[in-house]
Structure 1
Amino acid sequence: MPKFPAYLLSRLVFVFLLMLAPMATAQTPAPADGAAQTAAPPPEKVAELIKLLDDPEIRNWLQNRPASTAAKVEQEATLEVEKMEAQARTRFQALRAALPRIPSEIASAAGKVRQQASESGFAPALYLLLGIVGVGAALEWLFRRTASRAKFQSPVLTRAYVEFGPLIVFTVVSTLIFMAVDWPPLVRAVILYALLAVIGYRLIMGLCRLSVDTGGMSAFQYSRIRILAAVFTLGLALWAMCRPLGVDNDVRTDIVYLFSVALFLIALEAVWRRPVDRRGNPPTRVANILASLYLVLLWLLWSIDFMGLFWLAIYAVVLPRLLSGADRLTRAFALTRWNEEDTNTPRMVLLLRGVRAIILLLALGWLGLSWYYNPSVITSDSPFVRTLVYGLFKSIVVLLIVDLAWHLAKAYIDRRLTPASDDLAVSPDEAARHARLRTLLPIFRNALAAVLICVAAMTILAEMGVQIGPLIAGAGIFGVAIGFGSQTLVKDIVSGVFYLMDDAFRVGEWIESGSYNGVVESFSLRSIRLRHHRGSVFTVPFGELGAIRNGSRDWTIDKFRVRVPFKTDIAKVGKLAKEIGKQLQEDPELGPHIIKTLRMKGVEQIGEFGIEISFGFTARPTGEQTAIRRRAYTMITQAFAENDISFAQPTFQVGGEGAGGEGKEAAAAAMYKRQADAAALAAAEGGKK
């Protein structure tokens, strides 16, 4: 098949541009009259020009001058097209004429191999190949007997060992035998490429069987891939043997095309006869037609030697399925080896992303080699496009590295952010350290993402040939301008940095700042998010926080007061408080949160209606101090009732005379009773504070 020369396309484009130049010149509008009069030459120069045109020599030269450049270029372009057509026709006729010579050329090459083998005292190459394969298969059989009894912790690893262990033994044995014998040149070439074809075919089949075992490939796909692999490896081996055996290049090319047509027909049959998919849906006619057109496109790209586009078209369909199958194999191995289903752990991320990166790098390397050794027309003729293509290759490598680094860091940070089941069992210092990490790691994660994105973007631009120095300088100037224009934003960010450096608050702590209070839920670079106990959410910039009162550090003391009558036995109240404190300490729900249990502080104040006694306890700042205080109120009320101790109440004496005096006294008593109840309630609320 003819190859499309790169220089011909470049010349055609150049010729086309040259032909457009005079057309653009002819379409240029004439200058205005005023401009023409201004630019007119002097009369003496016009007279001199007319005199020169009357010269017989100049008139003769003008009549016999050579053709214009545009005409020459047009003629050269026409000749180039005709030359390309003639070359293609000649090449096609040569390949067609070489078709009948394929059997004779193969027979002649086989005769050369037999003759050289007999002259060197060797058996025919086929017998030698069968002997090497037989010895390797015998040792492989012995190894397979021991390999079948091997058991690994992972069934996937066991299956891989059973599949590839014997293949490795066969490869090593056949290689040693081949290297130990000094073969004749032609026999060596035949045996070498035949052994490579056998090993390659077995390697492909081993991978396919492993994919079938893990559910990545159906039985129908396995049967068709087995036929494709056999035809492909056989054709590749014959193509490689033909060169050292002296087969004509046209015959060699025809052999390759015949095998390519066979592969195309096998793939086409697999498309139209494929069964239902994984979901049980049969393939539609439109899908089969599109798949057939895709196969035709692949064959045409390969035929005209556009190997870069050929491999890109293959990657577009094969690479996603290959990555999916690799993920399935990797997860099955991790599940059976470590019993690990979570894909967000650092080990799983490294395994999954590492396997993906290896597959993508191998595919990219092969594409780069095919593009380098079979350069396309545009890539070979345009330095800019060549820089762009190779810059894309390097950019993909950079993105793979950045992707692996980001997912590893994210998995590690997410793992540290996830609360462990034994957080309550650690010491207070360790719990504080964990809380500090859970506070700082989200900010570090966001900053790391920004840094990786910037580094990746700058590196990719540099690989694509863009000068990033001016970009960095411009970004610096723009940053300074933004800083001056957004001083409030800078203030918020800087204030947040210093709050975090001072460890002023952590996620999960209750803080109060001015009119804002609540539990710290999260924060960004410029603001903090507080959840009020009634459900409201405050988003407060760091610059507006000011002084912070943190109620969730180390310990908290809760005090309250109770008013009793003047004649109450204070010592008895103290004993009751001590007993209540002991019961609170033994409570399975509230006891773990109490540091110093409830006790009576003493007489706090002698009021107008009774004595105010103060109580207090020390608890951990977990938010349970309110529940402890409520339980203490309940237990004190019950204990006072059981021991005939009453709460102090204001009393009033109201006297009156005359008619209706009794009704007024009753109304006044009821009013004073309501005032006393209100005073007692206010005293209780004051004790809470």
Structure 2
Amino acid sequence: MGLVSRICAVLVTIIAFQTIATDAQSQALAAISGGSGSAEKTTTTELPEPLTQDAVREMVARMSDDQVRNMLLDRLDAVAAAEAQSATPAGTSFFGRLHTLWTAFYSNPLDAIVKLPTLLQKQGQAIGSFVAEFGGLSGVLKMLGLTAIALAIGFGVEYLAERLTKRWQRSQPPSDTATLQESLKFLFRRFMREIFGLIIFYFTIRMVGRALLDAQQMTFVAPLVTYLVWWPRLGAAVSRLVLAPQQPAMRLVSLDDNWAKFLHKNLVGLILLSGFTIFAIGFNLNSGHSLAETRLGFWLDTAVYIYIIFIAWTARDGLVELMRGSDPDRSEYDEVVARYYPSYVIAVAILMWVLVTTLTGLGKVDLLLKGAHYTTLFWLVLAPTLDMLVRGLVRHLVPPMIGQGPIAERAYRSTKRSYIRIGRVLIAGIVLVLIANSWDMNIADFTAQRQGFGSRLVEFLMTLAVGYIVFELVSLWINRKLAKEQTSGGPVSEDAAGGEGGGAGGSRLATVLPLLRLSALTGIIIIFTLLAVGSLGIDITPLLAGAGILGLAIGFGAQKLVTDIVSGVFFLIDDAFRVGEYVDVGGTMGTVEKISIRSMQLRHHRGNVHTIPYGSVEKVTNFSRDWVIMKLMFTVPFDTDPNKVKKIFKKIGAEMLADPLFENDFLEPFKSQGVLQFDDVGIVMRGKFMAKPGTQFTIRKEIYNRVRKEFAENGIEFARREVRVAIPGLDHDDDLSDAEKQAIAAGASGAVQAQIEDQNAKK
């Protein structure tokens, strides 16, 4: 009987722990107890009543080994069939699941409508059960009276605490011209005072309530006070901090008085309605009435969403104004978000109603009873306003603009947008974590399991988010450094350069940083894209191998490209040129306008743009590095005193060095270098000056103007080319008669004419 004992033990375990309510099990029982077979099997396999372990042991003891084996096989087959049927429901297909979800969705409100006529009756029964449980009407009235006493004591202690902490708050709010810091200080003090009072109120009623009420009464009073008193008051305090309905000058958001008061009042009302919904559902459950019995929760929850839609639709203009804010640097994205925010709130409310209705129809109400749907709704609606808060903080906390001009303005706006985008990613992550926690989902544990597409998708999104933040931080740092370099030592404008080119270039960082930004951001994108793809479970080894092969192919097939890139790297290392400098590359002259990893672009001062690969550059002549010496030449008649000209040059140099328009451009003042040479016309006098690159042409123009003016004032003329005729034997040239002058003129005219004819003949 050893085999019988073992089979008996197994059979007892199966009968004790497996349900026999399914159809498959019922069929198995029928086959065992009522099917065709021997009379012995029919009489010995009937289950005893009641079904206890002793009765089963006694039944098995009367059976043969074959009967026990057959009965065990039938029982195991039935259990396997039942498990297979439960594991493969009819709705495993996509359309089957859609049908299940649709049925769950519409059956819930349909059931609530069907039970609506009996709602008051069922709710009255729930209240009657509650009254009976707490000792009748007198017991309930006594409990409510004690609750009122506890609340009165709590409010009294809170009032005394506020009086004692009066010094925390100014007696009068700041004036209308108060700064943001003064407004924040006033509002924060008032908010902390209210929070302090609420904490005192909470602990007071908690201690007094435990002293006046028993444990059973506290199960009713504690949720009542929490959801209908404490939470609405906390919400009102937060609303007063942000909206400041009674102090327009202190308001932290862009709203007029009408919408601020409307939103404050209705937000408190919404919190009160939501709290009453949670309290009413808990009240019915504690009174022994299921949710499906009255369907009160469905109607109250629906009222919450309808109230949200009413607020969003009525105050749509105010919400648009709120989301738009007062930042003058709003982007088109900010305008779109502000314009459609009321519609977004309405859509979120409708979707949450659909979700809650479907989950209720599926019977998954455990998390709904904890208010997970309200937490999700709260954070989804609040997320765009947090984005507006980030924009406001960035506007006031971002460092001031560096320098002036369009470059500084573009850099300042780019810096602000980078901070805003980083804040948006962080807000999105925090909101998702809070929503997941409200549904009892730990994202860290979820991703650590690395099982299923859901966990891999979450890890994929987290990797992309981290990569995006790193991308923005690197871009932010480089852009800020680049803006600082460009505004502090940027190239001189064409007006300052006199339209001749040769302006001063930017700094070395201003030249290298754009290439560094491109390389760094490209590397970040590639690295985090590969990490994100790998987090999905995709093997990235073939991608890396393919990238290596592609790199080798490019290296062998594009040697000229490699030459250009390598040459450009060494040119930048040698600091041969910078953006904005005027250079000569193999006879091609122009200002360095743009550099890339392969080539440079030169713009001639007449507008032509030349693109030159680095590999074809043999020599670079830089006209804009450090300093420029310009030498000017002036030709004066032979009878001019050189010392007098030298004094004039020195005077002009001293005057221009003292001129505010030019004093910062000179490195050495304009001065004379004496007589350079004698030519056929006169004496060539030379002067020179040393200046910053890009300013020499403007200085030269001014020197020309001042020299002309000084020469005119001192009776010095510029030498001009003249034709002189020498007549041999004419000794009295100082007192020629008119006839002699006419004869000389005619002779000179004839000589000139003969010279012209001779030149024409030679041609």
TM-score after normalising by structure 1: 0.67
Structure number with the bigger relative contact order (C-alpha 8 A, sep ≥ 6) is 1
Q: 1:169 aligns with which of 196, 218, 234?
A: 196
The answer to whether the 8 Å contact 1:137/1:170 transfers is yes
**Separation in 2 of the partners of 1:529 and 1:610?**
45
Q: In structure 2, do the counterparts of structure 1 residues 185 and 466 end up closer, same or farther at CA, with 3 Å as the change threshold?
A: farther
- Mean alpha-carbon deviation: is it higher for 121-130 or for 222-231? 121-130
Computed over aligned residues only, the root mean square deviation of the Cα atoms, in angstroms, reads 5.4
Q: 1:233 aligns with which of 267, 275, 298?
A: 275
**Separation in 1 of the partners of 2:347 and 2:701?**
78
Q: In structure 2, do the counterparts of structure 1 residues 535 and 276 end up closer, same or farther at CA, with 3 Å as the change threshold?
A: same
Tell me which residue corresponds to 1:301. 355
1:471 is matched by which residue type in structure 2?
L
Tell me which residue corresponds to 1:520. 592
Aligned residues: 576
Q: Give the drift of 1:260.
A: 0.6
**Separation in 1 of the partners of 2:702 and 2:541?**
69
Q: 2:548 aligns with which of 452, 470, 476?
A: 476
Structure 1 unaligned regions, length at least 5: 1-68, 281-286, 425-431, 674-689
Q: 1:139 aligns with which of 147, 161, 171?
A: 161
The answer to whether the 8 Å contact 2:633/2:686 transfers is yes
Tell me which residue corresponds to 2:235. 204
Aligned with 1:456: secondary structure? helix
Tell me which residue corresponds to 1:386. 454
Q: Give the drift of 1:465.
A: 2.8
1:230 is matched by which residue type in structure 2?
L
Equivalent residues in 2 for 1:450-489, closer than 5 Å:
450-489=522-561
1:624 partnered with 2:695: yes
Tell me which residue corresponds to 2:307. 266
1:413 partnered with 2:481: yes
Tell me which residue corresponds to 2:266. 224
Deviations 1:456-496 (A, max 9, x none): 32333233333333323322322232233333333333333
2:577 is matched by which residue type in structure 1?
F
Q: Give the drift of 1:364.
A: 0.6
Tell me which residue corresponds to 1:24. none
Equivalent residues in 2 for 1:100-499, closer than 5 Å:
100-109=121-130, 112=133, 124-140=146-162, 142-143=164-165, 146-149=168-171, 154-158=181-185, 160-162=187-189, 164-177=191-204, 184-197=214-227, 198-209=229-240, 210-211=242-243, 213=251, 214-215=253-254, 219-240=261-282, 245=286, 247-250=288-291, 254-267=295-308, 269-270=310-311, 296-305=350-359, 318=381, 321-327=384-390, 329-330=392-393, 344=412, 352=420, 356-369=424-437, 384-391=452-459, 393-395=461-463, 397-398=465-466, 401-402=469-470, 405-406=473-474, 408-409=476-477, 412-413=480-481, 415-417=483-485, 419-420=487-488, 435-499=507-571
**Separation in 2 of the partners of 1:112 and 1:350?**
61
**Separation in 2 of the partners of 1:529 and 1:559?**
30
Q: In structure 2, do the counterparts of structure 1 residues 159 and 600 end up closer, same or farther at CA, with 3 Å as the change threshold?
A: closer
1:625 is matched by which residue type in structure 2?
Q
2:299 is matched by which residue type in structure 1?
L
**Separation in 2 of the partners of 1:369 and 1:224?**
27
Q: In structure 2, do the counterparts of structure 1 residues 270 and 170 end up closer, same or farther at CA, with 3 Å as the change threshold?
A: same
The answer to whether the 8 Å contact 1:554/1:620 transfers is yes
TM-score after normalising by structure 2: 0.61
Deviations 1:168-194 (A, max 9, x none): 203432454467676754445445434
Q: In structure 2, do the counterparts of structure 1 residues 255 and 442 end up closer, same or farther at CA, with 3 Å as the change threshold?
A: same
Q: In structure 2, do the counterparts of structure 1 residues 359 and 589 end up closer, same or farther at CA, with 3 Å as the change threshold?
A: closer
Deviations 1:31-84 (A, max 9, x none): xxxxxxxxxxxxxxxxxxxxxxxxxxxxxxxxxxxxxx9xx999x867999x98
Q: Give the drift of 1:290.
A: 11
The answer to whether the 8 Å contact 1:98/1:251 transfers is no
- Mean alpha-carbon deviation: is it higher for 526-535 or for 401-410? 401-410
Tell me which residue corresponds to 2:6. none
2:267 is matched by which residue type in structure 1?
I
Q: Give the drift of 1:363.
A: 1.8
Q: In structure 2, do the counterparts of structure 1 residues 354 and 248 end up closer, same or farther at CA, with 3 Å as the change threshold?
A: farther
Structure 2 unaligned regions, length at least 5: 1-80, 246-250, 322-340, 361-366, 403-407, 493-503, 729-742, 757-763
**Separation in 1 of the partners of 2:684 and 2:278?**
102
**Separation in 2 of the partners of 1:417 and 1:196?**
58
Deviations 1:344-387 (A, max 9, x none): 48996687456544532332113323565599xxx9xx964423
Q: Give the drift of 1:271.
A: 6.3
**Separation in 1 of the partners of 2:549 and 2:273?**
63
Q: Percent identity?
A: 24
1:488 is matched by which residue type in structure 2?
K
Q: In structure 2, do the counterparts of structure 1 residues 518 and 248 end up closer, same or farther at CA, with 3 Å as the change threshold?
A: same
Q: 2:580 aligns with which of 508, 527, 550?
A: 508
The answer to whether the 8 Å contact 2:122/2:293 transfers is no
Q: Give the drift of 1:564.
A: 4.5
**Separation in 2 of the partners of 1:524 and 1:268?**
54
Q: In structure 2, do the counterparts of structure 1 residues 648 and 262 end up closer, same or farther at CA, with 3 Å as the change threshold?
A: closer
Q: Give the drift of 1:552.
A: 1.9
Deviations 1:653-685 (A, max 9, x none): 4889xxx99767316448989xxxxxxxxxxxx
**Separation in 1 of the partners of 2:655 and 2:678?**
29
Q: Give the drift of 1:617.
A: 2.3
**Separation in 2 of the partners of 1:421 and 1:111?**
86
- Mean alpha-carbon deviation: is it higher for 551-560 or for 387-396? 387-396
Aligned with 2:664: secondary structure? helix
1:540 partnered with 2:612: yes
Q: In structure 2, do the counterparts of structure 1 residues 180 and 667 end up closer, same or farther at CA, with 3 Å as the change threshold?
A: farther
**Separation in 1 of the partners of 2:663 and 2:359?**
81
Q: In structure 2, do the counterparts of structure 1 residues 346 and 630 end up closer, same or farther at CA, with 3 Å as the change threshold?
A: closer
- Mean alpha-carbon deviation: is it higher for 476-485 or for 224-233? 476-485
1:632 is matched by which residue type in structure 2?
I
2:477 is matched by which residue type in structure 1?
A
**Separation in 2 of the partners of 1:645 and 1:177?**
103
Tell me which residue corresponds to 1:665. 748
**Separation in 2 of the partners of 1:301 and 1:455?**
38
Aligned with 2:646: secondary structure? helix
Deviations 1:498-533 (A, max 9, x none): 222222223332222223222333323333333322
Aligned with 1:554: secondary structure? coil
**Separation in 2 of the partners of 1:386 and 1:413?**
41
Deviations 1:275-310 (A, max 9, x none): 766889xxxxxx999998875543222111299998
2:300 is matched by which residue type in structure 1?
F
Q: In structure 2, do the counterparts of structure 1 residues 653 and 154 end up closer, same or farther at CA, with 3 Å as the change threshold?
A: same
The answer to whether the 8 Å contact 1:598/1:615 transfers is yes
Deviations 1:238-257 (A, max 9, x none): 445666x4644436983422
**Separation in 2 of the partners of 1:338 and 1:412?**
11
Tell me which residue corresponds to 1:56. none
The answer to whether the 8 Å contact 1:330/1:352 transfers is no
- Mean alpha-carbon deviation: is it higher for 489-498 or for 546-555? 489-498
Deviations 1:249-273 (A, max 9, x none): 4369834223213223434555675
1:135 is matched by which residue type in structure 2?
V
